[in-house]
Amino acid sequence: AEGDVDPVRMIEAMEAAFGVTPGHRRNHIKGTCAVGEFVGQASARRYSRSPLFSGEAIPVIGRFSLGGGNPGASDADKGVRGMALQFQLPGGGLQQMAMINVPVFGAAEPKTFHDMLVALQPDPATGKRDPERFRAFVDSHPDFHGLAEYNSRHNPPPSYADSRYFSLHAFRFVNGDGEKTLVRWYFQPRDGVKELSDAEREAAPDDFLESELIGRTEKAPVEWDMVIRIGQPGDPDTDPSKPWPEDREEVKVGVLTLTDAMPQEQGQCGPINFDPLVIADGIEATDDPVLKARSAAYAISFGKRISEQ
Ligand code: HEM
């Protein structure tokens, strides 16, 4: 389609915008591993036959991250925080999710994300980003505005455990009778949603999210409720930049409990490709072009980093 971008070009644009650290992710480079389990609830089975919701405790490998490709980025910087999960399903299958802590994405189609990366590339003359160029990008891409507005009203969290993480994309849940339901989901932190104040953000050190999560899980497990929102006819199914109306029915479908966190080098999350299209029977992807572009781009980033490029 018109708004698609060749994944090789997407990664080239990302490398030019964020730089390259050989052996590491091209995006969401700064991160922390975690482990725990997920227990699905019977309420989910009306909508999905996925083994995720069998009620058995399912082992989970998680990775929390800062958006962007700068390994030295500050944990106080604005921008998105990620939670990626790999569920090891009974019977050997896998389900993955890679979510961010904002309720709308800044691109209705891959080209917008690509154009944003191009607008973020440093000016060869100054070696710095050009605010004029970025403003021109914003002005010409209305599908970026929802995310920009959200970011202007929100500060980053003091802990990875204090954020809500959203699927953003819609998926179809398929139940045992083959009935399909359009859903979006989010993970709601049991400890509540918190944001740094402006003063706290200015005073914060560059690195606190990893040590905070390690310390927190040493004291007690950290939990999130998984909540699905039920789509209605006409709700956008292929556009993650468009929120759904607030009043959509919500159903709690499971609990994620993380028991341990550790630096990436010491955990299992580093060499995983958290491709959001690794989904199990009972959950189906839509034709969302951003979702498809992600899968292709992650594969290239993964192939490079795993071969030390
Ligand atoms: C066209 C749009 C997007 C592109 C091109 C893109 C690209 C990438 C790439 C290349 C990586 C590194 C993959 C790796 O080396 O393993 C990554 C990581 C990540 N992305 Fe995206 N992304 C896009 C949209 C999104 C969206 C919509 C979300 C959230 C719903 C998201 C959440 C994440 C997260 C959480 C990670 C870190 C995963 C991990 O911890 O390994 N991305 N992205």
Closest residue (by CA) to atom 25 of ligand 1?
294
CA distance 215 to 217: 6
Asked if residue 50 has its Cβ within 6 Å of ligand 1, the reply is no
Closest atom of ligand 1 to CA, residue 305: 15
273 close to 298: Cβ distance less than 8 angstroms: yes
Is 169 annotated as catalytic?
no
8: CA distance to ligand 1 center in Å?
A: 15
Task: Quickly count: other Cβ atoms within 10 Å of residue 75's Cβ.
Answer: 23
In degrees rounded to 5, what are phi and psi of residue 49?
Answer: -90, 10
29: CA distance to ligand 1 center in Å?
A: 10
Closest residue (by CA) to atom 36 of ligand 1?
28
How buried is 268 (Cβ within 10 angstroms: 0-12 exposed, 13-18 middle, 19+ buried)? middle
- 24: CB partners within 8 A, 6+ apart: 71, 305
Extract the tokens encoding 136: 């021109």
pLDDT of residue 246: 96
pTM comes to 0.98
Closest atom of ligand 1 to CA, residue 25: 15
228 close to 185: Cβ distance less than 8 angstroms: yes
Longest pairwise C-alpha distance within the chain: 61
173 close to 181: Cβ distance less than 8 angstroms: yes
276 close to 258: Cβ distance less than 8 angstroms: no
Asked if residue 31 has its Cβ within 6 Å of ligand 1, the reply is yes
CA distance 40 to 56: 7
Strand 94-100, strand 81-88: pairing: antiparallel
Region of 160 please: left (phi>0), alpha (psi -120 to 50) or beta.
alpha
CA distance 54 to 184: 20
Closest atom of ligand 1 to CA, residue 298: 13
Give helix then strand counts, H and E, for the chain.
8, 10
Asked if residue 84 has its Cβ within 6 Å of ligand 1, the reply is yes
Residue type, 116: M
Asked if residue 294 has its Cβ within 6 Å of ligand 1, the reply is yes
Sign of torsion, CA 136 17 296 255? negative
In degrees rounded to 5, what are phi and psi of residue 124?
Answer: -60, -30
CA distance 30 to 71: 5
Asked if residue 110 has its Cβ within 6 Å of ligand 1, the reply is yes
CA distance 27 to 211: 21
Extract the tokens encoding 32: 């922390």
Q: Which residue has the tokens 């995720």?
A: 52
Asked if residue 80 has its Cβ within 6 Å of ligand 1, the reply is no
Nearest to 210 by CA among 55, 11, 63, 48: 63
Tens-binned pLDDT, residue by residue, of the chain (309 aa) = 889 999 999 999 999 999 999 999 999 999 999 999 999 999 999 999 999 999 999 999 999 999 999 999 999 999 999 999 999 999 899 999 999 999 999 999 999 999 999 999 999 999 999 999 999 999 999 999 999 999 999 999 999 999 999 999 999 999 999 999 999 999 999 999 999 999 999 999 999 999 999 999 999 999 999 999 999 999 999 999 999 999 999 999 999 999 999 999 999 999 999 999 999 999 999 999 999 999 999 999 999 999 999
CA distance 275 to 97: 7
42 close to 55: Cβ distance less than 8 angstroms: yes
